[in-house]
Amino acid sequence: MLHRGRRLRSTRALREMIRETRLHPSQLIMPYFVQEGADVPEKTPIAAMPGQFRYALGGLVAAAAADAALGVASCLIFGIPEKKDAVGSGAYAGNGIVQKAVKTLKNKVPGLFVITDVCLCEYTDHGHCGLVDENGSVLNDPSLELLARAALSHAEAGADMVAPSDMMDGRIGVIRNALDENGFTSLPVMSYAAKYASAYYGPFREAAGSAPRFGDRKSYQMDPANRREALREIAADLEEGADIVMVKPAGPFLDIIREARDTFDASLAAYQVSGEYTLIKSAGELGRIDEDAAALESLIGIRRAGADLIVSYFTRDLLQKGLL
């Protein structure tokens, strides 16, 4: 018999009825950049990421409140400190910019779920995600304690979840321990488990001023050519106690997302990173692509590959435009 696949595509109602994958606002996480400093404007446009901003504390609260009213359910906070130093002190300062932002957000926008990015690169003067020795090598074990202090300081500020993005070996276990020993046994950890050394982070590093001053991140972030290695990274982070594991970037690594989904019974996140966002956004601004349709297609593709959650800079736009 002839397979008439078109029968089920003939009306909108039928197409929606048989739709296999859906996008729901509860699955999307909106990133925010918060900048420290007395004279910082409430919001500063990020040139490399059209439609995204660096917020001062007040601007962040206003944006987050407006976004929450639109239906944004959760956010991921990145800090841009006033001063950087060799040991990334701002990352674990009790009154650091992220710690202040979390306290303020949990107070002023209580319904919004607040996740914090745990890393050192925005806070170190060399721009690496860990401590660096005199030869410029990124040190693994000595960085762990600082990362744990950062995660704990976010927890103490009231974060709902912490998300380590540094890719040092063993950090999930050390962070989990630090949280548990200090009474945060119920605080979940979302690990950037399979994080690749990607050109798609370029716009983010401009936004956060976190590009490494020398060298690159290839000694800690993964080689984009590797698939099996991603599974080992994810397995290790789950063993160390990660509650949610992430694949990053998302679009160029859909096969990794699918493989992780098929291999592990864990909640899986994917990060549609700055470069993925900017490609679609910029082509849309030039009139070369239908931005909204392309954004939705990219996100449904990430969900179809197997991601439960997606960090995406399109979250606000799509809700604002009533597209979710």
By annotation, the residues acting in catalysis are 195, 248
Q: Is residue 119 close enough to count as binding ligand PBG by CB under 6 A?
A: yes
State which residue, 129 or 244, has the beta carbon closest to Zn ion: 129
Q: Quick one: tokens of 4?
A: 């008439």
State which residue, 55 or 204, has the beta carbon closest to ligand PBG: 204
- Residues numbered 144 to 203 that lie near ligand PBG (CB under 6 A) are 165, 201
DSSP string, 68-83: HHHT--EEEEEEE-S-
Give the residue closest to ligand PBG by C-beta.
Answer: 204
User: Where are any strands of DSSP class E within the chain?
Assistant: 28-35, 43-45, 53-55, 74-80, 113-118, 131-132, 138-139, 161-164, 190-195, 244-248, 267-272, 309-312
Q: Is residue 204 close enough to count as binding ligand PBG by CB under 6 A?
A: yes
- Residues numbered 127 to 186 that lie near Zn ion (CB under 5 A) are 129
Please measure the distance between the N-terminal and C-terminal CA atoms of the chain and give it in whole angstroms.
38
Range 254-259 contact pairs with CB under 8 angstroms and sequence separation of 24 or more: 254/301, 254/302, 254/305, 255/227, 255/305, 256/194, 256/227, 256/230, 257/302, 257/305, 257/306, 257/307, 258/305, 258/306, 259/227, 259/230, 259/231
Pick one of ligand PBG, Zn ion, none as the site partner of residue 201 (Cβ within 5 to 8 A by kind). Answer: ligand PBG
State which residue, 30 or 110, has the beta carbon closest to ligand PBG: 30
Q: Is residue 220 close enough to count as binding ligand PBG by CB under 6 A?
A: no
State which residue, 49 or 93, has the beta carbon closest to ligand PBG: 49
- Supply the minimum distance, in Å, between the C-beta of residue 18 and ligand PBG: 34
State which residue, 72 or 147, has the beta carbon closest to Zn ion: 147
Pick one of ligand PBG, Zn ion, none as the site partner of residue 36 (Cβ within 5 to 8 A by kind). Answer: none
Pick one of Zn ion, ligand PBG, none as the site partner of residue 193 (Cβ within 5 to 8 A by kind). Answer: none
- Supply the minimum distance, in Å, between the C-beta of residue 250 and ligand PBG: 10
Produce one character per residue of 241-252: b if its CB has 16 or more CB atoms within 10 Å, e if not.
bbbbbbbbbbbe
Q: Is the Cβ–Cβ distance between 106 and 135 less than 8 Å?
A: no
Pick one of Zn ion, ligand PBG, none as the site partner of residue 117 (Cβ within 5 to 8 A by kind). Answer: ligand PBG
- Residues numbered 221 to 280 that lie near ligand PBG (CB under 6 A) are 273-274
- Supply the minimum distance, in Å, between the C-beta of residue 20 and Zn ion: 36
Q: How many CB atoms lie within 10 A of CB 197?
A: 15
Contact positions vs ligand PBG (CB under 6 A): 117, 119, 121, 129, 165, 201, 204-205, 273-274
